[in-house]
Structure 1
């Protein structure tokens, strides 16, 4: 398990490398949820997503290496590319063909190579492992790594410093690095706080693994919440157990419910987010998430959505 001490050390290590992102109330969602709802606007982070926290912490702890590599659905790759550029290291980010072009372009713009491999994150991971094995690159996994989890956990420390009386945190769930880190930090400070994981119905690997009682493979499908795609790894060492032990509730959403959350955040709260970041709002709108026991914080995990796609989703329903 990643500990509170690990997360506090990460916070000190990456201080000055990341932004402290805003926390703001959402009157519209509060009315629908039956209690106060707050938005933790992590999509305002440098590189547009929470992933910079974990990537920066992991990269800062590397020794002498030929370069860095990973497999990513986009946001972790962009974050690692940013951290590598700060350290003057080459970076090769392995992605599947399901990753949107705007995320590939963002990786390339940071001077890294976005290498498209196969139809799933697991296939992309094989190339990252080859680079580690044969070319001396340091492999920084997107979620199942103690330094990555500790870095993501700094978001939990920061959120509770901004809203100490939060009763629940709603966290987008994919491989589990974000939920594991934030939950470890939050429950260390507030053991009674409720941790709610939210994912999509289409290809949610962590949800399927928790239901099975062990990591399982799930077909990776196209989804509006593309950042939540990918497997958790059959050899998962940390995030499966941490999510199993620290998460209080798990909610799955349809594609229509995710789109509804995205539209609401844009129209009512003025926040442009990607599908993965809209799941909390989508869950409230679908009647699957309430805030009756005290303040509810929705972690808006990223904003790296293609502008044309965002406009098209807004135009689907007027």
Structure 2
């Protein structure tokens, strides 16, 4: 029996009212090539075309709108949440310090700096960077807005679920890139509140998937971060995770973990169809290409979550297949 969601449909509807003037309604496109492979209709939710190039703007905007008077805002991020928080903070004239590990690609650091925020490099993992964000909250009066385990962030990401069902009302399955779980928790809470029979599938990488390891253990665990093409899916979920771990556990119907080659296959296939996305956004397509994700029971929606990949790295991956 599914537990009561900790972020409700009412929370998500309120978030939609709060952010609708600050975020885009992103396109939904059919994919004939993936539909043929999956055995049924496949739709691509092109969230990579969101302002700042990723879904993270939804949660960050909703959270920043609710912080009140603070010295600034801070977070730990693998890149996309930091960029979104920097954008949302600048829109409201609030200083932002984004704490990140040395594994974050340079293009994501540059994008944050261009938005007027400080990109502060701390340690070799997102968990280490998070300690600095906690210090800024404790010692300097910053509002800490985590990348996923926060009710306002989850509710903001959940607005994507409302959009998906508005665009594809008969969707049978939604496939969602899975890292800390904010996107999956929010989208699943919205979708299952409106359509309890809808299937939610999380997709992640085999290298350093913290949520998968935590689900296997039955509680949040620490893992070693490893370099992966799906770098935005890296990082821990936090040993004191309050929201996303139980929500993912209760609302997700299946989990698929991909090899680096399978992620690259997804990225290349999407590029051939005109979608230039990052590795984390390509995992759902990679799952279809691997034969592990199908559309036999009805329309399948794949969330293409972000586009923030280093152009040289993207070109090199495409070149590998030629």
TM-score where L is the length of structure 1: 0.99
Deviation track 1:258-291 (CA, whole Å, cap 9, x = no partner) reads 0000000001x20000000000100011111111
SS in 1 for 2:284: helix
The answer for unaligned runs of 5 or more in structure 1 is none
Which of 236, 242, 248 pairs up with 2:253?
248
What does 1:169-184 align with in structure 2 at a 5 Å threshold? Answer: 169-184=174-189
* Structure 2 match to 1:43: 48
* Structure 2 match to 1:191: 196
The answer for unaligned runs of 5 or more in structure 2 is 1-5
The alignment of Structure 1 onto Structure 2 pairs a total of residues equal to 317
Query: C-alpha distance in 2, partners of 1:308/1:28?
Result: 26
2:205 equivalent to 1:200? yes
Query: C-alpha distance in 2, partners of 1:84/1:280?
Result: 31
Deviation track 1:46-81 (CA, whole Å, cap 9, x = no partner) reads 000000000000000011000000000000000000
* Structure 1 match to 2:286: 282
Deviation track 1:140-177 (CA, whole Å, cap 9, x = no partner) reads 00000000000000000011001100000000000000
What does 1:53-68 align with in structure 2 at a 5 Å threshold? Answer: 53-68=58-73
Once the 2 structures are TM-superposed, how far is the Cα of residue 212 of structure 1 from its aligned partner?
Answer: 0.6
Query: C-alpha distance in 2, partners of 1:240/1:90?
Result: 30
2:66 equivalent to 1:72? no
2:105 equivalent to 1:109? no
* Structure 2 match to 1:213: 218
2:321 equivalent to 1:317? yes
2:309 equivalent to 1:305? yes
SS in 2 for 1:216: coil
Which of 98, 102, 120 pairs up with 1:97?
102
Query: C-alpha distance in 2, partners of 1:64/1:12?
Result: 21
Query: C-alpha distance in 1, partners of 2:107/2:79?
Result: 9
2:140 equivalent to 1:135? yes
SS in 2 for 1:77: helix
What RMSD, in angstroms, separates the aligned Cα atoms of the two structures?
0.4
SS in 2 for 1:55: helix
SS in 1 for 2:315: helix
2:285 equivalent to 1:272? no
* Structure 2 match to 1:166: 171
Query: C-alpha distance in 2, partners of 1:226/1:288?
Result: 22
Query: C-alpha distance in 2, partners of 1:292/1:114?
Result: 45
Which of 294, 297, 304 pairs up with 1:293?
297
Query: C-alpha distance in 2, partners of 1:137/1:244?
Result: 31
Once the 2 structures are TM-superposed, how far is the Cα of residue 115 of structure 1 from its aligned partner?
Answer: 0.4
Query: C-alpha distance in 1, partners of 2:10/2:103?
Result: 37
Query: C-alpha distance in 2, partners of 1:239/1:120?
Result: 19
Q: 4+ runs of 1 displaced by more than 2 Å?
A: none
* Structure 2 match to 1:239: 244
* Structure 1 match to 2:156: 151
Query: C-alpha distance in 1, partners of 2:148/2:184?
Result: 10
